[in-house]
Structure formats: C-alpha cells, structure tokens
A and B are shown apart, each in its own frame.
Chain A
Amino acid sequence: MNEIICPLCGKPNPPDREICQFCDAPLKTTGFLASPDDQDIFGQFPPPSSQGGEPSDQSAQPESTSSLEQAIPDWLKQTEANFLEGDEKEPGDLTSDKVSEEIDALLKQPFTPAEGEQPVIDDEWLASLLAEAGVGELAQEFQPEQPVGELPEEGETAEIEQVGAEPEESEPPPQVEPEKPEWLTNLEAASTIKLEGGMQPSEVKHLGEKKTGLEEGETKALEPTEVPEWVGKSSFAESPPAIEQPETNESEPPLAPAEIPGWLEALRPVEEKAKPTGPMEDISAADIVTAGPLVGLRGVISAHPSAIQVRKPPTYSIKLRVTDEQRARVEMMQELLAEEQKPKPLPSKPIITYRHILRLVVAVLLILPIIWMIVFRSDKSSIPQSGNIPGVIDFTQQVQRLPAGAPVLLAFDYEPGFSGELNVAISALLTQLFGKNTYLTLVTTTPSGPALAESFMSNASAGGNVASAAYSNYTDLGYIPGGTMGLLGLASSPQSVLPYALDGKNVWAVAPLNTVTTIADFDAVIVITDDPDIARAWIEQVGQKLQGQDKPLLIVTSTQAEPLIRPYYEATPAQVQGMVAGLAGGLAYGRAVGSQPANRIGDALSIAVTVSVLIILAGSIISLALMLAATNKQKED
C-alpha cells in the first residue's frame, strides 16, 4: 500500500488523506506517493553511503519509478490527455511539463527507419527545445537503437523498462503510428527519465553513449530478455547516474601506483606520515534524513522545518483547578481566619475591686477623723510656734512696721481650691493690716482673683474681727492681664495698667492712691499665691522695683510652693522679706499676731497628717509582706 509523504513533516500518511495527519499540511497538491518499502520519495538519488552500489538501495529504484508516475498530479495527466486529444496550446503557454508531454506524444509516433530519412520536426518550438537540450544529435545517434527502457539492467533497468513500456501501453498499434522514429523513442525514454528522475542532459548523454556502445554490437532494437549479460553487470545501475565514473574495463589492468622518487618521498611532510588522520565518524548506523532540503543524507542534522513548525499555541485555562482536598483545606483556613477576625469580648471588669475598696478605706480613714475634730471641736493639738516656721517672724515684723493708713498692694493670686490652706494666714494678715488701718489695693493676675478677693473681704467683714470702718478702706483694681508683662506694666505705671477700679471709680485721683505713681510708692506689696511661677514673676518684675526703695515684698504661699520661694527669702540681700507658708505657717502667724483661729483646724490637720502617715506605713508594710510571700512562694515552686 502506497503512502503519501508529507512534504512538511516527512511522515507517511495514508493515501486517502488530503492533509497530513501529523501536521495538517495539505498532501494532494504537493505530496508525493511513496512505496511502503521505501518512503524516501527521492530514492532515485542514492545516498552517499550507497555509492558503492549496495543492492538493497538499487532494488528500490524501480519501484520509485512507478511511484513517480502515481505522483503525477491529476492536472498533469489531464493535460497529457488533452494533448493526446489534440488540444494543443499555444507555444507561448506551454510549460516544461507540457513540453515533455508533447515530446512524449512525438515519441509515440511510429518511426520508419527503412526510409533512412531524417525525422522532420514540424513544430519549431520543439525543434528549438530539442536543440537546446542537445537531443537532436542524440536522436540522430540513437536512430538504430532500442529504447532505454529495454535495457536489461536490474534496478535501473526496471525503471527504464517501465518507461519504455509506456509507449506499448498507451501507443496504438505500430501500424497506427508508423511514423514514430526510433531515435524519437529513445529521446522519449531519455526525456522521461529526465523529467521523472531528474536526470541531467549530461546523464542522458552518458546514457546515450552506453547505448551507442550497444549499437556497435547490434543494429536492431533489443528486447529486455535479449540484453547481454555484460550489460546486466554494467555499472550503470550500480553507480548513480549523477556521478560519472569511468567504466572500468576488466580486460585493462589496474593502474599501478606511481613510484615516488626517494628525494620526493623525503620532501613529504613528516606530520603527514606520523600524524594519523582524524577519527572518522561511523555514520552507517545514523538515520537518513527523510525530509527537508537535506533529504537522503545520512548522519547530518536535519534541516527539517519541524523546529520552526508552526503550531497552534496551546491554550491554558486560567481557571484554577482545585481538588476536593484542597478545597476542604481552604474552607478550613477561611473558617480559622473568620474566627480570628471576630472581636473577642473583653472580660467584664468587676464593678467593685479590691482597689476600689482600698481607696474607699483610705478616704474614710482620712475624712472621718477630720469630721470628728470639726464636729466635736477638738482642742488637743498644740499650735505651731512661729519661730519654728521660717519667714513667719519676718513677715509679722514687716507688717507691723507699716505706718498707719499706708497704701498696701495686696495681690490675690491663688486658686480658690487653696482657700482652706491659705485662709488662716490671710485672715491673720487682714487682721493685722486692718489694725494698722492700711489702705488695701487689691489686684490679681488670675481671672478668678477679683471674685476671690472680694469674697474674702466680704467674709472678713461678716466675721467682725476688725472694725467695720477698716473694711471699706480698700479698693479692688481687678485683673491684670498679660501675666509677666502685666506685672511689668504694673511695676512701671500702675495707673496706666489699671486706671479704674472694678466699681468704675478712678481711684488714682483720690487719696491715698493719688500719690502713687509707681509700684514703689506702696508701702508694702503682699502677694498671696499658691503658684511658684506667679511668685517668681512678682519677685522678678516687681521686687526689683521695691528693693531700692526699702519697701518689703511679702509672700503668703502654700506648702507646695514654699521650696521654690524660700531661695528668694533666704537670698542675700533677700528678694522676699517675709513669708508665710501653708496651714502650719498660717496658724503660727495667727498665733503671733494674736489672731485666734479655730483650733479645730489644727487638730484636723494634725490628725489628717497622722492618719496619712499611718496609712502609708501600713500599706507599705503590707505590700512588702505580700511581696516577700510571693517571692518565697516562687522560690518554693
């Protein structure tokens, strides 16, 4: 069964297929039929390794001839039939194939050698073609010869037989075509071989020469069975037609190798003798290229276009293929992540913890004794001595030295929360000042100062500690904005900073403030503050105005501000001439000036401090005990 060799991939295909089953290349138009024994459609070209005339290669050649016939396209066959029917085309439209067909038709014409006339070629184009091919001479030489196809050679001769048999099959009886000459028959054979086997004109000429050799022995066309034995042993079939090898004559002795003179032998390069030739690769077992431009070659890399074969790119699905196991794992992971993202409710804190209880206990322990002291008017604690508290004696003496009716600047620069601590000292101060009938000028640098000052003055009036006339001997100038800058302005020019009192009166125009132009015109400046920064601002901005005038700057402050104010008091020269600090200082100062504050305040302070110390000590001891117990437990564990 014949197969069609794909011209693209070179693989055999069933004859009934129109396209290659391997590469989908069309087979009918350009494909070739090949015998199953020899898929090499170019089998007529012996491979290089077969130049030695291997019988196996030669046996395939006759069959390739028939396959070539079968490989003739239909259109070519149809053209041949048309030509035979007389549908001759114009010479200009003829192709080489058609020309060969016409030649074949001419070859089919009977030839009458008896007449001895030269064959007349009617068609000029055919004559010119024959002239170009050099066949004319051959035709003259081949006149008495038989067709090449009748050569008794195996292999190659079979092809020739088959070619030579064509006229017998297709041509009518000899009486119908008696005019076909013998030389034309030979030309037909030669032309057929050239067209179908790709033989060159030179090969045809060589073949003619062989025929000419035959012509010497015989003048009659030989039958295939009548081919001489020596023809069958001819090397024509054994050697490829493309390679012209001189036909060896058995009778002639072989050429003896030339004798090289000694001097010439000595001139030959030593390397040529010593150095063996390179290793020759044994390509006998290599594959034969069956397709591509290197078809028929053995042991070479195929230039088959399979490497650049155009194929439809494979399509890959972008859809992720997930197995059931993977899907289950993904779902499990999603569940885990979903649980992680869920906010976990914080553990609810208990409403009451031991810390709350401890705070309540501390508060009760502090508050109950104080309440008990106030309710029962305890008088068990002694009042601190003024000599034991720094600054109290100096403060008392500075106030005591003030002249009667002297203008005194009193600054209420403390927060209302410190009223309980400072009111004792302030009450004693006001008692002493009002006893001197001083003219108080109330100012403040805090927004709540004016109300605080006015409230304190009202309470002092309601208490009745001093004469009611003294309570009206003051003026409230109100708030000094600007902080430090306001104090500087007050020190430089009080009238410009605070021109009017809170009641709208121009106090600077009446006595005793009509004589005041600077801060140094006041006989004393007393600052009541709980803030060390405010005290420092007064000392820095106002105190330096008073120092040169021998006017005292006195400060009543809280216990927490005392450490920062004391350096000014203890400086040399002192920037603060007197100081009363805290509740203890107020009690001592009141005791010094003869003011008798309620002693229950002292008892409350005493018991509050005592309880505080006890609470801290107890708590510290309990904490240490618990810590030691925990440490021992850890060591035991």
Chain B
Amino acid sequence: MKRVLPVTNAIIAIVSGVIVLLGYFFPGAFQGIQSVLVGWAIIIAAFALLLGIYNLAIVHWKKVGAEGQGNLYSVVLLVSLIITIVVVGFSGPTGSWSLWVFNTFQVPIEVSLLAVLAVVLAYAGARLFSRKPKWHTILFLVTVLLVLLGSVPLFLIGEIAPLSALRGWLSQVPAVAGARGLLLGVALGTVATGIRILIGVDRPYGG
C-alpha cells in the first residue's frame, strides 16, 4: 500500500496537470474536462480554507491550555473567531451586523498597522546614517527622497516639475526594468515547477 499510494497520487497529479495544460492549447477538446478538474480544485481549496481555520483554532486552543506567555492573545483570537462566526452565521456575510464588525474592528486595525508602518519607515530612514554609510545606503536614501518629493505636490511648495520628471523616469525605467526581471524570473520558475510536477520529479502532494 505504501508503494501503491504514491504511484497513484503521481499518476493523478500528472494526468490532471496535462489535461489542464492541454486545455489552454486545445480549448475545444479539453475545455470541458478542464473545467471539471478546475471545479474540483476550487472545492478542495475551499475545504482547505475551512481546514486551515479549524487548525488555527486547535493550535490556539492548545496554547490557552498550556502555561506561558501569549495565552491572552490566543484567548482573544478564539473569542473573536467565535463571535465572528456566530454573527456572520446569523446575519449573513453581507449583513448589517457583519459589516459592523468588519468596519469597526478589522478595517481600523489594518489601517492602523499601515499607519504605524509609515511612522516606522520614517524613523528608519532618519536613522539610516546612524551607522557607517555605504554607497548603496546613500543610493537607497537618495532614491527614496527623490520619489517622495516627486510623487505629490509638496505642502506650500507645490509640484516641482524636475522632481516629478525624475520620479517618473525612476518609476518607468529602473523600477519597471527590475519588475520585469522579477516577473520573467517568476514566469521561468513557474514553468520549471510545472514541468517538474508534470513529469513527476517534484511531488508536493507526497510520495
């Protein structure tokens, strides 16, 4: 059984991947079965989301039972999870009570986190030269200042055209070049990973 299951898993994964891939090249022949397989994958992914929520609850439930610091956070998480499930269960995902919980707790908390991130980034930029600066440190700091100054009109100064043009050049040439390099790398990596899975060399499903 230990030998049969890995082989079976590999066969299922390879055949499914090949069919879905062929669906891109031959939509007429493989579109139907591709849609079926994709539908199954979506259901499994949805179930995986529920499984993840269940696992999260179990982990924090064990933390609450165990002694040590951080139990309070686990308690807060479990209480919040239960309350949200109860409220959304009764009110619905877009009900008024659900939206109240969402707008009252989740949105302000996440926005506050980003606000703190802005303060931390400004503080880090101010202390960037606290240690012995290097050439890439100076380059990074200069780039940050130029992009900030050219992004929006400055207060009581207005828009500085040269800085805006320089910011545009930085965002269109160096930034886009780097982004395209990243995207090409991601694409090549995705292709390589897909080929490895299709030929059975890489088996993330086990075996």
Which residue numbers of A lie inside 8 Å of B, CB to CB? 358-359, 362-363, 366, 369, 380-382, 384, 388, 390, 415-420, 447-448, 450-452, 454-455, 458, 476, 478, 480-483, 485-486, 488-489, 492-493, 496-497, 502-503, 536, 559, 562-564, 566-567, 570, 582-584, 602-603, 605-610, 612-613, 615-620, 622-624, 626-627
Contacts and interface: CB of A to CB of B under 8 A. Distances in A.
B102 A455 contact: yes
Contact of B41 (A482, A567, A605, A617): A482
Interface string B127-164: 11111110000000100110011011111111100001
Nearest to B144: A616
Contacts of B41: 482, 485, 489
A485 B127 CA distance: 44
B94 to A, nearest CB: 4
Interface in B148-184: 148-149, 151-159, 164, 168, 171-172, 175-176, 178-180, 182-183
A174 B65 CA distance: 126
A357 B171 CA distance: 35
B110 A483 contact: no
27 contacts: A359-B120, A362-B122, A381-B153, A381-B155, A384-B152, A384-B153, A384-B159, A417-B107, A419-B107, A451-B94, A454-B99, A458-B99, A481-B43, A482-B46, A492-B35, A559-B151, A563-B171, A564-B179, A566-B176, A583-B152, A584-B151, A606-B152, A606-B155, A609-B148, A612-B118, A616-B141, A627-B130
A362 B102 contact: no
Q: In this complex, which of B23, B113, B123, B156 has the most chain A Cβ atoms within 10 angstroms of its Cβ?
A: B123
B86 to A, nearest CB: 15
B176 A570 contact: yes
Given A366-B118, A416-B106, A623 B151 contact: no
B125 interface: yes
A492 B34 CA distance: 9
Given A380-B155, A448-B106, A454-B99, A619 B49 contact: no
Which has the most chain B C-beta neighbours within 10 Å: A359, A388, A458, A619?
A619
Nearest to A486: B42
Contacts of B119: 359, 362-363, 366
Contacts of A417: 107, 110-111, 113-114
A563 B178 contact: yes
Contacts of B182: 564
Contacts of A563: 171, 175-176, 178-179
Given A388-B159, A489-B35, A623-B126, 20 more contacts: A362-B126, A380-B155, A382-B159, A384-B152, A448-B102, A448-B106, A451-B99, A452-B107, A455-B103, A455-B107, A482-B45, A488-B38, A563-B178, A564-B183, A567-B180, A602-B153, A616-B145, A619-B128, A620-B128, A623-B130
A443 to B, nearest CB: 13
A447 B176 contact: no
Nearest to B24: A544
Contacts of A489: 35, 38-39, 41-42
Scoring B110, B119, B168 by chain A CB atoms within 10 A of each residue's CB, the highest score goes to B119
B122 A493 contact: no
A382 to B, nearest CB: 5
A493 B130 CA distance: 57
A562 B45 contact: no
A366 B130 contact: no
Contacts of B9: none
Nearest to B99: A455
B107 A416 contact: yes
B189 interface: no
Given A359-B119, A605-B152, A483 B45 contact: yes
A371 to B, nearest CB: 12
A450 B95 CA distance: 11
Nearest to B142: A620
Contact of B127 (A481, A483, A610, A623): A623
A13 to B, nearest CB: 83
Given A448-B102, A567-B183, A616 B45 contact: no
Contacts of A566: 171-172, 175-176, 179
A169 to B, nearest CB: 110
B93 interface: yes
A588 B103 CA distance: 27
A613 B151 CA distance: 12
B110 A415 contact: yes
A584 B111 CA distance: 18
A358 B123 contact: yes
Given A567-B176, A627-B132, A482 B152 contact: no
- Lowest 7 CB-CB distances: which A-B pairs, in order? A619-B126, A417-B110, A623-B129, A482-B45, A481-B46, A616-B125, A454-B94
A476 B92 CA distance: 13
A569 B182 CA distance: 16
Contacts of B172: 390, 566, 570
A623 B128 contact: yes
A358 B126 contact: yes
Interface centre among B23, B38, B43, B127 (most CB of A within 10 A): B38
Contacts of A359: 119-120, 123
A478 B46 CA distance: 13
A362 B106 CA distance: 26
B28 to A, nearest CB: 13
B176 A416 contact: no
A607 B148 CA distance: 11
B153 A606 contact: yes
B31 interface: yes
Given A366-B119, A415-B110, A455-B102, A502 B92 contact: yes
Contacts of B131: 627
A366 B102 contact: no
